[in-house]
Structure 1
Amino acid sequence: AVNRQEQGVAQVSGTMEMMSRSISEVAGDVQDIAGEVRNVSAESAATAEISREVRDRLDSVVRNVEQAVAAVNQLDTQSKEIGSVLSVIGAIAEQTNLLAL
Structure 2
Amino acid sequence: MRAAGLGALADLGFRGLDNDIRDPVTVTGFAATRTHKLTPGQKEANRVLALGRAPVEHGFAHLKNWRILTKLRTDPARATHLLRALLVLTNLEVNR
What TM-score results when the alignment is normalised by the length of structure 1?
Answer: 0.25
User: Which structure has the highest strand share of the two?
Assistant: 2
> Which one has the largest radius of gyration?
1
User: Which structure has the highest helix share of the two?
Assistant: 1
What TM-score results when the alignment is normalised by the length of structure 2?
Answer: 0.26
